[in-house]
Structure 1
Amino acid sequence: MSQAAYSVDPFAEDASLIPASTPIWREALFPLEWLALRASPVYWGFGVPHGSGEPVVVVPGFLASDASLVELYWWLARIGYRPYFSRIGRNVDCPDFQTGRLRETVLRARQETGQRVRLVGHSLGGMLSRNLALEHPEDVAMVITLGSPFRDAVRAHPVLISAAATIRSYAGRGAARNVRPSCFSGHCTCTFVKNMLMPGEWQVPRFAVFSRQDGVVEWESCVEDDPALNDEVHASHLGMVVHAGTYRAIARRLRMCSAGSG
């Protein structure tokens, strides 16, 4: 869609995005959640099923980079998996473009291990993972989303709406060079948005971790219709990636994907 197609400034805060009244103050608990993880036996690999070298790619959320998933990355290594960072850079570019970059990492992981890849994505990273799995199920063995609003991506906390508007205002520059006026809005018609709103038939297992204490996105947007595919944790949105309950859920779901699924 061209910029001329908009009757209002396309870089302004998008009226198609619906502000969500989530308790964002809970995100201040993130440091405490990180400390609690370090004190948990789960952090050291006790009390959770282990892997056997299966490849797992971790994908950061909106505005974040792989650095946000360092704890998760090394924990996966400790419990027997072969983790990979996404290598998509800071997650602020066009989601379709970022999915293409993610696939490069997935293809490398598959070539190095000879197995289809497990994807664990936080927030927008989980949505990128779902998009990739829908488009290229031959490369993906499983998707686990962490606080990813794949059911209703147009609902967001006002802070995120403002951030999306800022990124669109810098479209074509730096890390957001592929962002178009419709990106991060309800106007976009790209493959990514199609796969979020009207996904095709799933060919790979997918699971969703969510929290009713999420201060950034509405938890109802982060769950599958089938309750058996969901795991509830008691974490903030940011803290979900450093939460012992999240790690237990990830370990259990990964174990469900056998090593012979390559």
Structure 2
Amino acid sequence: MPARLRTNLPRKTKKAAARPSTTKRTSFTPRRYPEANTSLWTEALFGAEILILHATPVYYGLGVPRGDGSAVVIIPGFLGTDRYQPYFSGIGINAECPNLLIQRRLNQTIENALAETGRKIHLIGHSLGGVIARSVAGQRPKDVASVTTLAAPIRGTVANRAVLHAAEAVRLRILEEHGRGVLPDCYTGRCTCNFLDSLRRKVPDSMVETAIYTRHDGLVDWRYCMTMNPEVDVEVPGTHIGMAFSPAAYAVVAERLASAQSTK
């Protein structure tokens, strides 16, 4: 019956009904990534790591090398927020196109730090923040004295299924929000943006590079958090989330910062 009604409609009306909508709808194909065989439940222990940190001398700056007054820009991890000291990275919640975060926010923070201190800066990044830090180090080698990554998958995206699902949701939101302002493979390892291109560049010998990782990482494959250079890679106990509160990691960071000569 509905088919007969459509057939009996006037010709002009039929054309109007068949006319395509002028509103463009964009469809995105979900990406599939290799999954890491990690134990997500271990990440629940990060609360204990926070308590332990507050009970250790390193948290209060005791028994660790002192700083030289140069700026340290700390970049939060995936879905982490800017609640660090002394320099906020300026990227807010880290759930955005990394290339845009660097261009629109992080570079300005770096410029401010350079102007205020007159010295090269130090970059420290946790998780995705570490990947961003390493990319910026490749982009601005003359401005960076050292780059330290904590539990950062700098060699590829191999993570727990829950992390991959969250990352895919972020990727689809980025594509919906920015449209042609980002590349189709944004937020994947196949993207050809400057962010990933810079990540693959070697840093100069004058820059102190450190990659801190834990074998008990419950979110990403810890092997992808290494550079495979024993002079760069440092293993510490703890979890992925807890890396940002690890006394062992803090001690390593303090030592590496002190070894990096920050000059104009």
TM-score by length of 1: 0.84
**Alignment partner, residue 169 of structure 1:** 172
Task: Label 1:23 to 1:176 Cα distance change in 2 as closer, same or farther (>3 A).
Answer: farther
Decide which structure has the larger Cα Rg and report it: 2
Other-structure match for 1:35: 51
Give the distance between the partners of 1:249 and 1:176, measured in 2 at CA: 41
Counterpart selection for 2:135 from 131, 135, 148: 131
Opposite residue 32 of structure 1, the aligned amino acid is: A
1:240 paired to 2:258: no
1:118 equivalenced with 2:122 (yes/no) = yes
Mark the CA change 1:34 to 1:177 in structure 2 (over 3 Å): closer, same or farther.
farther
1:97 corresponds to: 100
Deviates more, 1:224-233 or 1:172-181: 172-181
What is the rounded CA distance, in whole Å, between the counterparts of 2:228 and 2:187 in structure 1? Answer: 24
Q: Deviations over 1:60-102 (max 9, x none)?
A: 01111112xx3xx2xxxxxxxxx20101111111111112221
The letter of the residue matching 1:134 is G
Identity %: 39
Asked whether the equivalents of residues 93 and 176 of structure 1 are also in contact (C-alpha less than 8 Å), the reply is no
Deviates more, 1:111-120 or 1:128-137: 128-137
Q: Which residue of 2 aligns with 1:79?
A: none
Gaps spanning 5+ residues in structure 2: where? 1-26
Equivalent residue letter for 1:122: H
Q: Measure how far apart 1:146 and its partner are.
A: 0.4
| Matching residue of 1:227 | 230
Which range is displaced more, 206-215 or 183-192? 183-192
Amino acid aligned to 2:67:
G
How many pairs were matched up? 236
Rounded Cα–Cα distance in structure 1 between residues aligned with 2:178 and 2:148: 26
Quote the offset at 1:201 in angstroms. 5.1
Q: Distance in 1 between matches of 2:181 and 2:208?
A: 30
User: 1:49 offset after TM fit, Å?
Assistant: 0.8
Match of 2:153 in 1: 149
For residues 194-252 of structure 1, the C-alpha deviation after alignment (integer angstroms, 9 at most, x for no partner) is 233x3245352211111011111111111122201122110111100011001000000
Amino acid of the structure 2 residue aligned with 1:232: E
Aligned residue identity for 2:201:
P
- Residue 16 of structure 2 is matched in structure 1 by none
Aligned AA (2:261) = S
Gaps of 5+ in 1: 1-8, 74-82
Distance 2:38 2:64 in 1: 31
Q: CA deviation at 1:165?
A: 1.5
> What's the CA shift string for 1:31-61, capped at 9, x where partnerless?
1000000011111111111112111000001
SS at match of 2:231: helix
* d(CA) in 1 for partners of 2:245, 2:59: 9
Q: Which has the larger displacement, 48-57 or 112-121? A: 48-57
Matched residue type, 2:114: R
Is the 1:11–1:168 contact (alpha carbons within 8 Å) kept by the matching residues of 2? no
- Distance in 2, matches of 1:172 and 1:212, equals 34
CA RMSD of superposed structures (Å): 2.1
Give the distance between the partners of 1:120 and 1:108, measured in 2 at CA. Answer: 17
Change (3 A) 1:172 1:151: closer
CA contact (8 A) 1:93 1:175 kept: no
Q: Give the superposition deviation at 1:142.
A: 0.8
8 Å CA contact retained: 2:175, 2:184: no
Given that residues 92 and 176 in structure 1 are in contact (C-alpha distance below 8 angstroms), is that contact kept between their aligned partners in structure 2? no
Give the deviation of 1:173 after TM superposition. 6.4
> What does the per-residue CA deviation read over 1:127-169, in whole Å, with 9 as the maximum and x for residues that have no partner?
11111111111211110000111112x3121112101221123
1: CA distance, partners of 2:240 / 2:219 = 6
Does residue 47 of structure 1 match 2:63? yes
